[in-house]
Structure 1
């Protein structure tokens, strides 16, 4: 290919009357090339090969086209690298180089972009009024929690008018996580928009019909009714219908999650993410109103948002059976419940960070949710009625190993010492918590310890005395002290008595 300077020189010398043969000899070019340079309009001389020979790819061109087409249809995260496509071709007998495959893929992609009959998407810019809508989506990110690499699920919420973003990380992409993300996002924004735009995720949409018709999940509709929002689902595989949050996923991944984040817990990670959302809004200019920041746009939009009166009670309920050891199996872990629920069916309400176990209308257990496997989460107080009947289990019972007792009970146990008899005495005091409150028992223990009597009999006697009803107070007034029949002063009675004694 000739450079522009050479083409200009050829054309200038030819215009001066120099023969083509002499120009070709001086510039060491073929006469054919000189003629093409002379005929080129305005010095443009581009060489285009009519037929591109593909000695290595030729037999595998059809297969490579199929691989490239399938790869283009995948999501951005799941697309194969060119090195992987080259490796797949080599397994089928291809002997060409990686560069040949890469160059062909580049030309193939360029041809598809230029093809007017190809599937080239075109879009229409959208505008939203303040408080009109928000967009929701999930993404999967790689982080390190407590020293362990983990792929987490990140909820993304974006207000369409102000472009304010909210990001929160979860261990899973379940319905209770969805509810929690909405409650926290609306609290972060300071209100609720009128409409929510979603894709067809299973936690929200049960059935997809033709067009925009959808059958939403019942609990999801209850949440939408609570916040007074209108849910709208996108068309299948039409991410551009919620393009703002789709772009947010890529932006947040590059700005927040790269390089890989390292935190001790999800609480620390989410606290940092919320602070980053505020910092980003304070420094990021609004894409359409460049003179203000996203934070200023959010303040202006907040006036148009609906007030959030209370967060939605976002739980997922399921029914479980309680075993003879006061345990239920939930989410591949075992949790303890009160002994009164043994061998009965209970309802488990799973929240994003905790579970609540109910027996009818009574709560018989509440635990922090654990997302690992094969873990036993026990509350020793659930087993107290059983321990009162079997005090020998205090030494080897799994729930009581490493029991973090209140200070007064810990001090009493040290005073009582060790051994079977000491355990029985201590369990007698513990059993009093079932009838008296823990605070009352602790007060009785402290009173006994201050008196120097670390004995179960003394403590139970103090509790019994405190349970007795107090004696009514007697109020004495001067009227009460007045005599009903006041005595009459008669000194003559003494004279009569004296006369009787004298006569005697």
Structure 2
């Protein structure tokens, strides 16, 4: 292939210096045909591209390589193999050729697939018109352990204001919590919400834009006065703003890998980063304005925040004889009175509420591990009245932290023969008199250097009796208008009548 410098010299020697073709061939050591080609074409550069690639080694492996490339391209970006890994898989099938042949073939294969590029129409939104919602998966270190977290993304379409919050799950109660926290942060909602066809929102995809939405999801949208809009399946560009936000947050917030102690610390940090990003970056459509300044102007056009939606996911469960219900691979305790009848578990993003016949029989912080048991020792106190010996070895009472006065009484009663029964009597009084009253009674008993159950219960009963009034007030209707006068003669007359 001729280089540009050689072509330029041939042209100068012939057209400027007037040399013959024979002289140019002798000096530059090129063929006559090459010189004639340069002079006749008047081109300043030549390139050669092979029309047919023989592929002596790769030829019979093309079908296998096509299959590997198609499979790899169908994966999400983070799970795709590098080309060297594809080459290694082809070698494992028996291919004996080199990597360069595979690389050239893969380059042409990708070029042919991307020959047709889709065109899109840029979208614009009025203030308060719409927001976009999506999920992403990120990897962080929480308390020293590598955890795959689910990140909820929301973005106001007009101002581009982002909101990001991390969760252990993508379940429906997490969707409700993410919306409530985002709207509370924005101090309002938009008229429309744009979603993909996530299962926590859409139950069935019908013709065109028609969807059958989840009943609880529609209740949430009705609470916040939002009209839900679902995208066309596999058409992420219809919510391109939040799709771009996913990549931006992954690059700027989660790279390098974050190290935090808890989800609370992570979410507080993410919220600070969202605000800092909005204040530091210019709005793409409004020169001279930041995302934050546009967001502050858009707030006036938002639908007022309607308060927290009671966003729970309800399931039915049975109560075991050990006062436990099972939910999400874990067990939670309930009141002993709930044993034998079904209960309703209301799962929130951060807590579990258990109801029976409309009353709460158990409430716990939500646990996201597996095969863990969460106890509330007070649920088992009624059972102790029949089995006081369980106070020493019962699983719910291990590491039970009692108030200071109750704990001191408990330590003293451990050395007494019937100390367990006495302590159970004191704990049972908490159910009727309240923890504060029992603790005060224990403190009073300890101040008198006594600690038996009889003394504590006696103090409680005295505190329950109403105090006598210090003065007796006489109503006006019973007041004497004329003071009686003492007359002994009247008494003597009465005595004579009796005789």
- Tell me, yes or no, whether TM beats 0.5: yes
SS in 2 for 1:224: helix
- Residue 49 of structure 1 is matched in structure 2 by 50
CA distance in 1, matches of 2:473, 2:146: 78
Which residue in 2 is equivalent to 1:172?
Answer: 169
- Give the match for residue 146 of structure 1: 143
Deviations 1:6-40 (A, max 9, x none): 22111111213323343233223333333333344
Instruction: Count the aligned residue pairs.
Output: 487
The 5 Å alignment of 1:292-331 reads: 292-331=289-328
The equivalences for 1:68-467 within 5 A come to 68-113=69-114, 115=115, 118=116, 120-418=117-415, 420-467=417-464
Equivalent position SS for 2:343? strand
Decide whether the 8 Å contact of 2:167 with 2:174 is kept in 1: yes
Cα distance in 2 for partners of 1:263, 1:104 equals 45
1:469: Cα distance to partner? Answer: 3.0
Give CA-to-partner distance per residue, 1:456-475, whole Å, 9 cap, x none.
Answer: 21111111112223334542
Cα distance in 1 between the residues matched to 2:415 and 2:36: 110
Mean CA deviation greater in 332-341 or 2-11: 2-11
Take 1:41 and 1:295, find their aligned partners in 2: how far apart are those partners?
A: 59
In structure 2, C-alpha distance between the alignment counterparts of 1:35 and 1:360, rounded to whole Å: 100
Aligned pair in 2 of structure 1 residues 474, 482: CA closer, same or farther (>3 Å)? farther
TM-score by length of 2: 0.93
Aligned equivalents of 2:244, 2:413: Cα separation in 1:
66
Which contiguous aligned blocks of 4+ residues in structure 1 show a shift greater than 6 angstroms?
none
User: Is this contact kept in 2: 1:392–1:420, CA < 8 A?
Assistant: no
8 A Cα contact 2:128 2:158, kept in partner: yes
Is the 2:223–2:306 Cα contact (8 Å) retained in structure 1?
A: no
The answer (yes or no) to whether the contact 1:321–1:345 under 8 Å persists in 2 is: yes
Alpha carbons 1:139, 1:153 under 8 Å: kept: yes
Structure 1 residue 202: Cα displacement: 0.6
Q: Does 1:9 align with 2:9?
A: yes
Q: How big is the shift at 1:81? A: 2.1
Q: Rate the CA distance shift 1:50–1:22 in 2: closer, same or farther, 3 A.
A: farther
Which range moves more in the overlay, 36-45 or 241-250? 36-45
> Secondary structure of the residue that 1:156 maps to in structure 2?
strand
1:488: Cα distance to partner?
Answer: 5.3
Equivalent residue, structure 1, for 2:37: 36
8 Å Cα contact 2:445/2:451 also seen in 1: yes
Report the alpha carbon displacement of residue 482 of structure 1 after superposing the two structures with TM. Answer: 8.4
